[in-house]
Amino acid sequence: HLLPSQSNIITIPGDFVFLGGQNKGNEEVEDGKDILSSLIDSHRRLMYASSPSLVSSSLDCYSGGGGGNDDEIASSPVPACTMLFSDVGEEDENGVPLKESAKAKKGGIARDEEDIEYIGLSSAPASIHRQHNSHHPSHPQRVMLKQSKVAVEEDEDMTGGTPKLFLPKKRLHIAPETSRITIRTDLNDLHVYVLSPWVLRLLSARKGLVSIQREVIPLLVSRQFRGISSVFGSKISKDHAKKEILDEALSGPPFRASLPDNAAEESGNGPNSGAGGSDETGEEEQPHRNDGEEDDENNNVSMEKHYNRSFAVLAQVLSREGSRLTLRACTVPSYLYGCRELVAHAIQKNQAASSLPKGTTVQAKLNSVFLPDAVIGEKVKIQSSTVGSHSKVGNKCRLNNVVVMENVTVGDNCVLQNSVLGAGATIGENCNLNDCQVAPGATVPSFTKEKGESFLV
Tell me the pTM.
Answer: 0.79
Instruction: Look at residue 217 in the predicted model and tell me its pLDDT.
Output: 96
Measure Cα distances from 295 to 259, 270, 309, 345, 346 in Å: 14, 12, 21, 60, 61
Measure Cα distances from 131 to 45, 59, 84, 323, 331 in Å: 7, 8, 20, 26, 39
Return contacts of 58-61, CB within 8 angstroms, 24+ apart.
59/131
Query: pLDDT per position in the chain (457 positions), as tens?
Result: 566 767 889 999 999 988 765 444 444 444 446 888 889 888 888 877 776 554 444 434 434 444 444 454 455 788 999 999 999 998 888 888 898 888 888 878 888 888 999 999 987 665 555 554 443 445 688 999 999 998 888 766 666 667 778 887 777 766 666 668 889 999 999 999 999 989 988 988 898 999 999 999 999 999 988 888 889 987 777 888 888 888 888 887 777 643 334 433 343 333 343 444 444 434 444 444 455 555 555 555 556 667 888 899 999 999 888 888 899 998 888 999 999 988 888 887 776 666 788 888 989 899 999 999 999 999 999 999 999 999 999 999 999 999 999 999 999 999 999 999 999 999 999 999 999 999 999 999 999 999 999 999 8
Give CA–CA dist 47/168, Å, rounded: 27
Q: At what angle do helices 291-307 and 240-250 cross, to 10 degrees?
A: 100
What does the DSSP assignment read for 34-89?
Answer: -HHHHHHHHHHHHHHHT-HHHHHHHTHHHHSS--S-HHHHHTSPEEEEEEEEEE--
Instruction: Look at residue 126 in the predicted model and tell me its pLDDT.
Output: 57
